[in-house]
Amino acid sequence: MLFSQPAPAVSLEGVLHIIAPPTHEETWPNEVIPVTTTCPFPKCQRSFPRPQETERHALRHLPRFLLCNRRGCNWVGSRRYALRDHLKKKHASALLSEQEFILYDAKGLVKQLLNNEITVEEAECEARSSFENRAGKLGKLGF
């Protein structure tokens, strides 16, 4: 028969060190201080902790860049998952390539804008002209 033996007592005296958090003037060693980015559109002063969030937000300021190309449908949007949901619910057909539904490269414009390669005015002008050109060809400007 096996008997369990009691574990030997271990003293942590002198071993346990408690590190106090730094004061607001100091930082932890190798701590990455988050850099917030601000929306580049002049009337919007929202800031975000991650660049991805700023990009996603900035898309809201441009014309929508996704358009359902089905005859008689006026759905427009700016989120690909919303397009997929729309196609499943309203058209119940096999999904086609998402490229067929993209009016212009909004994400590319936002990246250029955030990298200071183009101005807000240039981004808005490019987005509007691309939207009007492609949506006009599809006959879907009446929404």
Q: What is the pLDDT of residues 21-76, one digit of tens each?
A: 656 555 555 665 566 788 999 999 899 988 889 999 999 999 888 888 887 888 88
pLDDT, position 35:
64
102 vs 20: which has the higher pLDDT: 102
SS3 67: strand
Bigger pLDDT: 143 or 109? 109
Q: Cβ distance 68 to 85 under 8 Å?
A: no
Provide the CB-side half-sphere exposure for 24 (13 A, CA).
0
Residue 74: what residue type? N
* CATH domain 37-137 topology: Double Stranded RNA Binding Domain (3.30.160)
C-alpha torsion sign, points 125, 129, 130, 132: positive
| Whether the predicted pLDDT of 141 surpasses 80 | no
Question: Residue 143 has what pLDDT?
Answer: 41
Give the confidence band of 17 by pLDDT, cuts at 50, 70, 90. Answer: low
CA–CA separation, 87 and 71 (whole Å):
13
Global confidence as pTM: 0.62
Pick from 131, 120, 122, 142: nearest CA to 61: 120
Task: Please give the single-letter amino acid code of residue 21.
Answer: P
Is residue 132 within 8 A of residue 64, CB to CB? The reply is no
Q: What is the pLDDT of residue 22?
A: 59
Label the pairing between strands 37-38 and 47-48. Answer: antiparallel
Q: Is the pLDDT of residue 131 over 70?
A: yes
The domain locations on the chain are: 37-137
**Contact yes or no for 109/62 (Cβ under 8 A):** yes
Which tens digit of pLDDT belongs to each residue from 80-118?
888 888 888 888 765 566 677 888 889 999 999 999 999
